[in-house]
Amino acid sequence: MEVRLIPRIARRVAAAGAAAVVVCTLGLAPAAAQAANGGSPPTGSPPPAAPAPAGGGTVLQGSGMWIWQLPRAGSVPGIVARARSAGVRTVFVKSADGTHRWGQFNASTVSALRRGGLHVCAWQYAYGSKPYAEATAGASAKQAGAECFVIDAESEYEGRYAAADQYMRRLRQLLGAAYPIAVAPFPYVDYHPGFPYSVFLGPGGAQADQPQMYWFSIGTSPDANFLHTYTWNRLYQRPIFPLGESWGRTPPTQIRRFRQLAQAYHARGVSWWEWTQTGAAAWRALSQPLVALTGYRLALSYPRLGLRSRGDPVVWAQEHLWSAGFHVSIDGGFGTATRNAVLAFQGQKGLSRSGALDAATWGALLRYSPVAVRWQTSRRATVARAVGGTLVASPPASASLPALAREIPPKPH
């Protein structure tokens, strides 16, 4: 099925409702309109924030800039000088594309950038067709001096739960359990029901989430983009480090607004795509002193999921229900069995027994760690079985669901 690129967020929300892939009762358009006037009113008490996982926080903090083709960015002294003038403390340099290592990410260059006072992280565009070989190519950046590693996983990974699992397991074997890894996925989780967010951000996965929040390319405002992205990405309980856009015709006033919102949302770091495509006006917008928003109230909550919801957020909920003692099938479909498990969980916790995953229920459920799942390559439906505390299962049925839309346009990678 061809994925449509829809230019306006309002049209995309309407398409999402018509497709009924995931149920969400947030009312994004009204909230976005309120946010444009300086903030959004609270929508109830937000659930308690999840504790930030250890690892990767320091190098991702502050301002960062992504570099696709290093030779086009200039000399190392020039990169260091421009980074200093713009307040950039971390550069994310491409080190591999699929199974192919890029020679631009080498020990000599990385060492020179770090001597200049910059943190250096590597990033790889991953396809999922050869996960073990891709992980090996990506992990080689550590030997070259990379301080962290970022996975750029996009449409090629839609539906590839087993490949994502194999890739992450191999990457962790090579880099170690504590090495800082982030993933930079699509920002709108509800548009990608078959994407394995729960693998990349689950047990043994990345410690940080860098969603590609390209609001101008999506065709929305920074405010609406933050609200939509955070509402869904917060489910995965990883610190969010927004990846914004500074290339092309992105208005400098909106770049500054994005920076202000990142601060208001308590993001510890923000990075930008992409160095060589960022013009002088955008560089100035990145370097100007930040004036904090006043009177801005966050409207953070969780999406409401109920009967007939489908997608990776349901997989994530089912993995948590399993850990809470309710052994439902982890198939990505919110059917009667999942509804009954949610009802029983709500009764156990003294919550309103709606049978739906509302904010209060999510808050209680996410206090459990998700069960680890080793996804198999076979698509035949099999009963999950426990092996040493890990479930072994075929990919969830929701993995076959097509994307509702590709909110960010394809870019060179």
pLDDT tens readout for residues 300-312:
999 999 999 999 9
pLDDT tens readout for residues 210-246:
999 999 999 999 999 999 999 999 999 999 999 999 9
pLDDT for 379: 59
Considering the entire predicted model, what is its pTM? 0.87
Q: With a cut of 50, which residues of the chain have pLDDT below it?
A: 1-56, 381
Domain boundaries, the chain: 57-287
Radius of gyration, alpha carbons of the chain: 21
Can you tell me the distance from the alpha carbon of 271 to that of 263, in angstroms, rounded to the nearest whole number? 13
pLDDT for 2: 29
Name the CATH superfamily for 57-287.
Glycosidases (3.20.20.80)
What angle (nearest 5°) sits at the alpha carbon of residue 102, between those of residues 98 and 104? 155
Can you tell me the distance from the alpha carbon of 245 to that of 335, in angstroms, rounded to the nearest whole number? 39
Would you give the DSSP letter of residue 283? H
In the block, tokens 């929040």 appear at 213
Q: Largest alpha-carbon pair distance within the chain?
A: 62
CB-based contact 131:166 (threshold 8 Å): yes
